A and B are shown apart, each in its own frame.
Chain A
Amino acid sequence: MKFKIKFADQIVGLFILVALAFFVAIVVLIGANQRWFAKDYGFVTSFASAAGLAPGTSIMMKGFTVGKIDKLTLNANNTVDAEFHIFDTYYEKVREYSILELTVSPIGLGSQLLFHPGRSEVRLSEGAFIPTAASPEGQTLIEQELVEIPPKDDTITRLLANVNPLLENTNKTVVTVNRTLTEVNRALAGQSTGPLGDIVTDASAAAGDVRARVGGLLDQVSSLLSELETISANLVATTDSIRDPTGLVPRLLDPSGSIKTFLDDDDALYKKVMSIVGEVDRSMKSLQGIISGLNSEMPKVAGLLNETRTAIQQAQDVLEGVRNNPLIRGGVTERVQQESLYRAMREGSFE
């Protein structure tokens, strides 16, 4: 007889018993892992809404499951009463001032119920009420720093925490840029009393002064030039007369000519020439004084031109920065140009 047939009873018995032993072991392991034989401590709390909560929701503390939600009930005050239990392993964490916090993922990855232990040595008894972080009682405990709340350790929360200061800085920058633009506009309109307005006013005044001074100088120079043109024309005519053999010089050299008569005038001609020379000398001195005055004004003019150029460059940089900033691109309201009125509305009545 074959071995299997001969010992069929034993083989089948062992086959079934081993399976039963494994089955029992698996059930016991499941029970041990799922706390069938452990004592849990029940507590109660209240939520404004049961959204994100369900019986069986894990209560987490620093990444560890310390308990679970047992029951949720909508009460007469339209708030949600919740019964939950804390594992005996973590019962010592349930102290006075402890709170629960329901955090919802900002990117739709569900919610998490966190347990924050209180900063007290008094252990809460079973069945005690533990407030939530969103409740006024919980807020008070947090403000009084009676609760140990660890920093949020998930990346999204940390990123969001960093985004707020960035947004505040961006808002401040936008406000500053708006103020700058307003100041620039007011300064350019001549309405500003600040440093930029002073610079623009000074530059404008300097430019006007320079224009006035240069205009005066140019008038003087042009009159001098016209005088010099006249003199030059006279000298040219004189030279031409001297070069002409039949012209003025032979007639002047002729003893019977009129030159003798002309020169024999008791130095009247000489005096006249000398007076002309004296006038020319004074004119030259006056021109020299004007030129020296113009030279003394040139550094100021150059300085004013530099300041003007610097101010214009700064204004250009600010405008370019504003134009290139993506955060406020399109944020400045387009200025509507007011058409000038050629005719006042009531003008007709007074014609």
Chain B
Amino acid sequence: MRKTVLTAFLLAFTIPAGSQTPSPAPPGPVVQYEIQARLVPESKTIQGRETLVWRNDSESPVGELRFHLYMNAFKNNRSTFMAESLGSSRGVKADKADKDAWGFIDVNEIGIRDGADLTPTMAYVQPDDGNADDQTVMRVTPPSPVKPGESIALNIAFTVKLPKAVARAGFGGDFFMAAQWFPKIGVLWNGAWNCHQYHAHSEFFADFGTYRVEITAPGKYVVGATGKRIGQRKNADGTTTYTHAQADIHDFAWTACPDFVESRERFQMTSPAVDTEMIFLVHKEHLGQRGRYVKALRQGLEFYSRHYGPYPYPTVTLVDPAPGASATGGMEYPTLFTSMTHRFLPAGVLMPEMVTIHEFGHGYWYGMVGSNEFEEAWLDEGINSYSEVKAMAEYYGPDRSLINLGPVRLSDLSYQRLNVIGGGRFDPILRRSWDFVGGGSYGLNVYNKACLMLLTLERYLGQETMDRVMRTYFETWKFRHPTSEDFIRTAEEVSGKDLRWFFDQALRSPDKLDYAISSVVSEPVREAEGLFKGKLVKTDPKAAAKPAAAYRSEVVAIRRGEWIFPQDILVVFADGRKVRETWDGRERWKRFVYTGPDRLAYAQIDPDGVWLLDVNWTNNSLRLEPRPDGSRKAALKIASLFQHLLTLLSL
């Protein structure tokens, strides 16, 4: 009864995610949050009260509840986050001498509504590393277990001290970014709590539900938040309270800054049907860059809606962090994300566009398709980087989608490839985020390599099939928690192909893909010489002087890496004749022999450029005769640059 009444009450104030074809067996809301938060800018604190209704969605009774207290990652240098990151994250080092730099969350009270006080049962637990100093996961024990299908309503009072902007959240001057800020219940998944500590290289995981949040801030502040604003009132003490609500989301973030300039624009498209309000909170220092944000967000909405499914929420909010708080930039939350720019950033450096499209895209990959970022980060970062590369190429040009400064150009795809080519090969893509050897390996694998893996898959399956794979995956798993296995199964079912061999290598092995043409030979076929049936046969000197009537040509393809991928080989002869071969790629090498009237010109493995994961494309082809123009051109360029440098710095 309690559950029914509370659900009805909450839903009355929340905004449905819109109408689209429901996914198979959509889960009901497991969590329902109602939060009141008051920002106290002077002390950089948030005073909060939270009512949480949590439903036991499992088939077993649950004797304890686990909560994320993410802000405690910034409490001291003994937290797992600080220990793993050596005090810095996302390029920003914590200023340890400044008391204001630290952040924390205190749960002042927690109890069952109209029932037992659970505060005495509070305890910090460390399920990942046993670090007793880490306080980012809290456990409470109700007096009796929560039975399957039953809900429990909790009242929680808490205080947050925001850190100086670090790792997605915090303050910078008058700018506040409240992210991962409230006590958030973990996910009861496969019969156990999936509630990981806050790690240096991990993101998040949470259940879908409904949120209704009241944010009170001094009147001069411009406030933006997840979801649709359903109320706003001025208070007698000079503050203003904003009420936001949204259903079908798994997180809630908000921001406040007196220097934001707020603007709103409508985005509508007909196929598929999308109608949403774009809200821009751009810092006054960056107003000159606003047009870039607007254009990129329109492109993101259009691209993702067209390729994966219509954007279902009534709002999307872009937050431009204040200068000096860049550590909060480039992060996604449901219906709200932070982008980043600089007042004087040239138009040819497409960083704001890329970040805007990428972070908006996370509204799909993790925002709606709620995979476990702690354990399988590629499912959101890799899939989203794949989507971003495609969107950037479509809107800004395939060869200049990241940098377009006259003759200096770089594509987003090349950027991803260069990272993979030059990066170490220590980890597979699929690994728990904190198990990677370091932040570089985490980024290289879950962003760059996973992106290339999907682009490779697209070239292997074909554009149309891959589009269907992605649409099906989105439709099937939106507002649910898919795993890597679910993605693989979807890809196999839609394509009708066995792709296990592909994912087993690309996802689970740290090795490399590198096929090459190691040698090409083309020699004239000699006239018969020697003893034949006891008779000596000699070559006629006149015939030997004539051009050869036939050539014996040989191509050897080799596998330099451990990954085994089937290969196509193109062999081109001097007369333009082409022969296409296939090789299963299993052995370490394969020889192809031809006899014909013409010499061989060159051989090329993977001539269609399917295997974007191949770490060396230069060795994919081999000419019979060298043609050194390209290397000479590059060497001349390098030498000329050196000569200019000499005259610049000395006589």
Physical interaction between A and B: no
The interface of chain A, by Cβ under 8 A from chain B, is: none
